[in-house]
Amino acid sequence: MKKRFNTTGVCVSRKHYMVDITSKLKEIEKLIENEFYFTINRPRQYGKTTTLNLIANYLKQKYLVIDISFEGIGDSVFEKEKSFCNKFLKLMVNSLKFNDKKESERLNNLTDDINDIQELSEVITSFVENANKDVVLIIDEVDKSSDNQLFLSFIGMLRNKYLLREVEKDYTFKSVILAGVYDVKSLKLKLRSQDEAKYNSPWNIATDFNVDMSFSPIEIGTMLKEYCDDNNVSMNIKKLSKEIYFFTEGYPFLVSRICQIIDERIYESVKKTWSINDIQKSVKMINEEVNTLFESIVKNLENNDDLYELTKRILIDGEQIVFNPLDPIISIGVTYGIFKKGDDGLEITNKIFEEIIYNYMISKIRTSAKNMSLYNIKSNFIEPSGGLNIQKILQRFMQFMKEQYSSKDEEFIEHHGRLLFLAFIKPIISGVGFDFKEVQVSEEKRLDVVITYNNFKYIIEMKIWRGAKYHKEGINQLCDYLDIHSLDKGYLVIFNFNKNKEFKEEKINAQGKDMFGVYV
């Protein structure tokens, strides 16, 4: 069987190209050796199930591993204690069949006529006390039990047994691992009214799980090397791994999807050496996909106005937000995989998610963009060299704003102006280039748009007019930024909300840099 890249379901080494996460497994093993209970809560398609499968296989020589999932067991199981307890024990018995049939049979003989959580606790005690190895329990998809008091009673029982074990008054699992998108504390919050104490979770015994489950460039390289060896091709693994990481920040599904598209669509018939351009082509294809991960991100933004607004403030308005995991909106954004803690505060998780969210926000504002398609016809801005005439794009955008938006639209422009500009340039660069949004710290709330188009790069700074002093400081900052990108020309879109403003162009030369800007 020929190996392939996999982005659906669990990954297995005999069938799929996989990242070597041995170092992560060793970190998790240390938690288990120390008898910790913990929750692996990560966003959707973050490789949780694959990691749990690898953990179970990694530990089975040393421990008796019971690896179960609440996926697909149905809601009726959680309606009565007896049905839940018996179903849970049956899942345990079936899991053990694949690791230790004798222990599976022994557990099965203990499970007759179980009526409630207390009797389930007694079965666990009896089984663990006489087991031939320490027992580790892994439960995947605990989210399926959300909004269910019975499940919380169950983990409350596990908590109680853990505490009794610590004082040598009970026998129970050496370690328990729960996995899902939400942590158990979040499940508890769903069941509590607003005026109750919110953080008295029955899982407060759990230690923090701080293992980084994203893939580093070095780890990505292990998967590329396996592919190269299997297909007898050579490539610059270090360079390609860094480029994949640049777009994905190591998000497991996105890493595998980039590789899968190159292997199955770009080089479907003949396996060849990959290039940076291949990775960029793959990213463009991904940005045009509809998949469950992207649908989930959009759905979560659509269903939470506060989350949408905070995401817009970061991605479109260029605000710097302090990362505070106790903030409920930030916390839910991290849970959904939209936010991460960056070097300068709260950030969007990766560049692919930025593009997906950016496209989604553009689609929402498109209905408010008056006659935009009359102004941004792509062919009008392409130069013979294959580059873009950015000056002409900005002039045309200024004309669009002047003719289509009056002073009556001031509040709309103040809130959505930057998004309008991003929507304006999107169809011009679509299919060929990328546009990355980079926040710059300043009083003018700068947001620099870095456009790569064919082999050309352009910097367009968007900012709000705050007066001549701040404008001059901003020009110097832009010069420094152009130096970083080895460019001698830059562009500005300045939003001026003063009553006496005028639509105008501006040419500036500073520190040997030429700049062209428009005021709207």
Written in H, E and C, the secondary structure of 4-39 is ECCCCCCCCCCCECCCCCHHHHHHHHHHHHCCCCEE
Whole-number pLDDT of residue 474 = 82
Residue 10 lies in a domain: no
Q: How far apart are CA 206 and CA 202, in angstroms?
A: 9
Looking at the structure, do residues 356 and 461 belong to the same domain, yes or no?
no
Q: Which residue range forms the structural domain that includes residue 275?
A: 217-287
207 is a domain residue: no
pLDDT digits (tens, 9 = 90+) for 136-161: 999 998 877 655 678 888 989 999 99
pLDDT at 382 over 60: yes
Buried b (16+ CB within 10 A) or exposed e, 35-54: bbbbbbbbbbbbbbbbbbbb
Q: Which residue has the higher pLDDT, 405 or 157?
A: 157
SS in 3 state form for 245-278?
HHHHCCCHHHHHHHHHHHHHHHCCCCCCCCCHHH
CB count, 10 Å around CB of 425? 23
77, 85, 147, 301 from 150: Cα distances, Å: 10, 10, 9, 30
Instruction: Give the alpha-carbon dihedral of 225, 227, 230, 231, to 10 degrees.
Output: -110
Higher pLDDT, 197 or 329: 329
- The secondary structure of residue 505, as a DSSP letter, is E
pLDDT number for residue 194:
44
Residues 173/205, Cβ–Cβ less than 8 Å:
no
Query: Could you tell me which residues are beta bridge partners of residue 138?
Result: 67, 177
413 and 320 share one domain: no
Inter-CA distances, 414 with 129, 195, 520, Å: 67, 37, 11
For residues 240 and 279, the answer to whether their CB atoms sit within 8 Å is: yes
What are the φ/ψ torsions at residue 431 (nearest 5 degrees)? 90, -15
In the predicted structure, residue 55 carries a pLDDT above the cut 50:
yes
In a domain, 9, yes or no: no
Gap between the Cα atoms of 421 and 398, Å rounded? 10
Across 362-431, where does the E strand assignment appear? none
491-510 residue pLDDT tens: 999 988 887 778 999 999 99
- Asked if residue 430 has pLDDT above 90, the reply is no
Backbone CA torsion sign across 358, 361, 366, 368: negative
- pLDDT on residue 147: 55
Beta bridge partners of 388: 382
Q: How many domains does the chain have?
A: 4
My answer on whether 435 and 350 are in the same domain is no
Q: 10 Å Cβ neighbour count for 253?
A: 22
Residues 277 and 299 in one domain: no
Could you tell me if 58 and 144 lie in one domain? yes
CA distance 441 to 447: 9
pLDDT at 445: 60
Report d(CA 363, CA 366) in Å as an integer. 5
Amino acid at 509: N
Lowest mean pLDDT among 72-86, 194-208, 244-258, 296-310: 194-208
Interval 211-238: pLDDT, tens: 999 999 999 999 999 999 999 999 999 9
Q: H or E segment at 122?
A: helix 117-129
At residue 459, the 3 state secondary structure works out as strand
Residue 51: its pLDDT value, please? Answer: 94
Q: What is the pLDDT of residue 235?
A: 95
pLDDT band at 186 (very low <50, low <70, confident <90, very high): low
- Mark which of 368, 391, 422 sits at the end of a domain: 368
How far, in Å, CA of 67 to CA of 62, rounded? 15
The answer to whether the beta carbons of residues 339 and 333 sit under 8 Å apart is yes
pLDDT score for 199: 44
Backbone angles phi, psi at 140, to 5 degrees: -95, 160
Pairing of strands 339-342, 175-180: unpaired
pLDDT confidence band for 300 (50 / 70 / 90)? very high
Per-residue pLDDT at 484? 87
Q: Are residues 281 and 308 in the same domain?
A: no
C-alpha count within 13 angstroms, C-beta hemisphere, residue 226:
18
pLDDT of residue 146: 54
Does residue 16 form part of some domain?
no
Ramachandran angles phi, psi of 273, nearest 5°: -65, 130
Query: Do 273 and 343 lie in a common domain?
Result: no
Locate 14 and state its tokens: 């005999």
Report residue 507 as tokens.
Answer: 């040419």
Q: Give residue 32's pLDDT.
A: 97
| 14 part of a folded domain | no
* Residue 1 forms part of a structural domain: no
Q: Collapsing DSSP states into helix, strand and coil, what is residue 437? A: strand
Same domain, 339 and 471: no
Q: Name the CA dihedral angle for 192, 193, 194, 197, rounded to a multiple of 10 degrees.
A: -50
- Of 490, 488, 352, 496, which is closest to residue 410 (Cα–Cα)? 496
Phi/psi at 494 (nearest 5 deg)? -110, 120
Give the separation between CA 143 and CA 339, rounded to whole angstroms: 20
Residue 11 lies in a domain: no
Average pLDDT on 258-271 reads: 92
CATH number, position 81: 3.40.50.300
pLDDT digits (tens, 9 = 90+) for 87-106: 999 999 999 998 899 999 99
Measured between alpha carbons, how far is 349 from 337 in angstroms, rounded to an integer? 7
Q: Which stretch, 271-275, 477-481, 500-504, has highest mean pLDDT? A: 271-275
Other CB atoms closer than 10 Å to residue 519's CB: what's the count? Answer: 17
- H helices within 290-345, ranges in order? 292-302, 305-315, 328-335
Domain boundary among 256, 287, 318: 287
Residue 5 lies in a domain: no
CB 274 within 8 A of CB 294: no
**DSSP 8-state symbol, 405:** -
Handedness of CA 310, 315, 320, 324 (dihedral sign): positive
Minimum mean pLDDT range among 389-398, 400-409, 458-467, 503-512? 400-409
| 284-298 pLDDT per residue, tens | 999 989 999 999 999
Residues 273 and 321 in one domain: no
- Provide the mean pLDDT of the chain: 89
Domain termination residue (choose one: 240, 261, 287):
287
pLDDT score, position 405? 80
Residues 304 and 432 both lie in one domain:
no
What is the rounded CA–CA span in Å between residue 336 and residue 182?
Answer: 9
| Same-domain pairing of 60 and 183 | yes
- 460 with 362, same domain: the answer is no
Measured distance between the N- and C-terminal CA atoms of the chain, rounded to whole angstroms: 60
pLDDT above 70: percentage of residues in the chain:
93
**Does pLDDT of 259 surpass 60?**
yes
Q: Is the pLDDT at 397 greater than 60, yes or no?
A: yes
Taking the CA atoms of 278, 266, 21 and 348 in sequence, report the sign of the dihedral they define: positive
